[in-house]
Structure 1
Amino acid sequence: MANPILPLWEYIPDGEPRVFGDRVYIYGSHDKAGSDKYCDYKLKVWSAPINDLNHWTCHGDIFHTRDDRDHKSDTDWTDRELYAPDVVEKDGKYYLYAFIVNALGCVAVSDRPEGPFTLVSKYKYNIPQDKGEDCFGEGCFNDPGVLVDDDGKVYIYCGFLRSFVAQINPENMYEIIDGTYQEDIIPMEEPFLFFEACSLRKIGDTYYLIYSPSTGNRLVYATSKSPTGPFQYQGIIVDNGIDYPAGNNHGSICCIEGQWYIFYQRMTNGTLMSRRACVEKIKILPDGRIPQVEMTSLGFEESLTPYRITPAEIACVLKHGCFVTEKDVFSRTITGIINESIIGYRYFDFGNDFSSKTIEFSMKIKGTGCKSRIRVLIDNYENGEEIGTCEIGMADGIYSSAVKAITGRHAIYFIVEEMDTSGAADMFKGRHLFEFESFVFMK
């Protein structure tokens, strides 16, 4: 499954990946296409077999703060949006930790990791009045990340602008144990720059706290030998603002069949909302460090094939104005394409066939009444080899050209150029040249 890893009409940001049994689950917020705000009033969960990450199953809605056509609300004290949940297993039960905007958060339980989840309780805690609002946001427990440690102790990590940790009573899983909360476990100052999105993972004897810094579009991590710190800043894991419309980021790391991944999100629709789940392979080095990875179109794939139709929207490079937008559940395009826009995909395997000098390249386009061309480059959009060009007309259609036959594994970049036949380029500067639906290479 390429990035985004879920069906392309599904918007699941803030993803917490968890392996339970022989399946991997993604618990996250639920965005809507074209929305002008973050998140929804329900949570959904998707899962896939750990040995077949190309087949994801939707288990439907698992928790609600408002009635809908099929469910009653699970909360009688609020009808606000649900943000950034987490789920952990304890003694054969699965506990959902919900962050509700401007309201007391809560804990729900299920006998199955896919839910649905039944309300257990609001969070219960006793924190001094001068600490409570700063510490847990009036009970929201912003972006909760939960750890059930090897010794049976349970910790909740949370925070917006400031970070916090506390122990949860493992007997009921919703009560904060008096005197266990700590403030500013991740500083707001350099190099930490804590902002939000706490997620804790324990690997061996090391605790990894993954979070979003005040730069927003990155996921970074800090490590400690104790679940409550002190933590040492380590670096960036992934940055979804490099060569792509930047926005907030939230996710975590997960080991699936011996391979580590970072789950994160990308923006669509030219906004910070309508976010979709993506994943990249990562390495954990012998010394515990995680080298930064680039954004790709791969998802769980080793390589993409250029000889199958590729939807334009899986681009991992979008520069100079262009972005993915959804028109309806069946149709998403790259729009906002102007002169010098760059659209890129990493990585395709062209194989090792030397039988011809050229191959056919075709693009499916929605026209906007303009004429343009694209230059097709491999490996690097600044100084990569140009293997061909393709002229784009004014109308909807398929536009094709012959390009150089190549072999091996390459990134592909399309560099857009306006074709000015009027001699009055300044009059048309910045106009949208076309919308991009899909493309394919053909031997």
Structure 2
Amino acid sequence: MKNLRLTSKKERLMMLCMGLLLISTALVRGQHNPTPPYSPKEKYVHQGAGNPYLPLWEHLPDGEPRVFEDPDNPGKYRAYIIGSHDLRVTSYCGPDIRMWSAPVEDLSSWRDEGPIFTYQIDGQWDVMYAPDLIEVRKKDGTKEYYLYPHSRGPRREAMVAKGSRPDGPFTPINLTEDGKSTIPGSILGFDPAVYIE
């Protein structure tokens, strides 16, 4: 190390880049840790302003932001991020649709709502791609939530699931009786986005 001399600008720039790479790798090494263990009864809350708004260990691509009334605090609203969940090492997306939420008054306090939808049939988990979630207000004032999970299970790509809360649970509503495929006429494009007038 004593004899290391950086004589050209190119060599100095190369060393600077290597140093920055090592430092940035050390700072984000927690990204590869699995979701921290905590009791299902308590929800993990990530405190942090700015970007990234979620903890570095969470990989939530294809996030769909939505604002819905908080079912536990009527009259208050929460921002919800619904997304596929990158867990697999060799490819993207995983077996669950994941949700995080924050009060609209404090977008620096994101709560992990956990996996809101998974689907398993014949011992195999479907892989979930980019989802979408909508709220439908019925004439009687009640609300229903429709999740479009974009399941990659064979013959289940156009799955639709229904729930009474934005954070689930959700039950598929357009599957055949055996649960192996969607009913005829179920057609959705890749990575659905739903619009309601």
Q: Does 1:141 align with 2:195?
A: no
Partner of 1:365: none
Q: Does 1:56 align with 2:107?
A: no
Partner of 1:389: none
Q: 2:84 aligns with which of 29, 46, 50?
A: 29
Partner of 2:167: 114
Q: 1:90 aligns with which of 132, 136, 149?
A: 136
Q: Does 1:100 align with 2:160?
A: no
Structure 2's unaligned 5+ residue stretches are 1-48, 70-76, 138-142, 176-181
Please state which structure has a larger fraction of its residues in strand: 1
Indicate the structure whose relative CO is greater, using CA pairs within 8 Å and at least 6 residues apart.
Answer: 2
3-state DSSP class of the match of 1:9? coil
AA in 2 matched with 1:93: E
Q: Separation in 1 of the partners of 2:108 and 2:102?
A: 8
Partner of 2:60: 12
Matches within 5 A, 1:27-426: 27-32=82-87, 35-65=89-119, 73=120, 75=121, 79-91=125-137, 92-101=143-152, 103=154, 104-105=156-157, 106-122=159-175, 123-126=182-185, 141-149=189-197
Q: Separation in 2 of the partners of 1:12 and 1:88?
A: 19
3-state DSSP class of the match of 2:129? strand
Partner of 1:309: none
Number of corresponding residues: 129
**CA shift for structure 1 position 76:** 6.0
Please state which structure has a larger fraction of its residues in helix: 2
Q: Separation in 2 of the partners of 1:55 and 1:76?
A: 39
Compute the RMSD of aligned alpha carbons: 2.3
Q: Separation in 1 of the partners of 2:196 and 2:188?
A: 20
1:13–1:31: 8 Å Cα contact kept in structure 2? Answer: yes
Q: Separation in 1 of the partners of 2:153 and 2:189?
A: 10
**Structure with the greater alpha carbon radius of gyration:** 1
Q: Separation in 2 of the partners of 1:50 and 1:59?
A: 16
- TM-score relative to the length of structure 1: 0.27
- Deviation per residue, 1:387-434 (Å, 9 max, x gap): xxxxxxxxxxxxxxxxxxxxxxxxxxxxxxxxxxxxxxxxxxxxxxxx
Q: Percent identity?
A: 43
2:97–2:149: 8 Å Cα contact kept in structure 1? Answer: no
Structure 1's unaligned 5+ residue stretches are 66-72, 127-135, 150-443
- TM-score relative to the length of structure 2: 0.59
**CA shift for structure 1 position 37:** 0.1
1:61–1:116: 8 Å Cα contact kept in structure 2? Answer: no
Q: Separation in 1 of the partners of 2:82 and 2:184?
A: 25
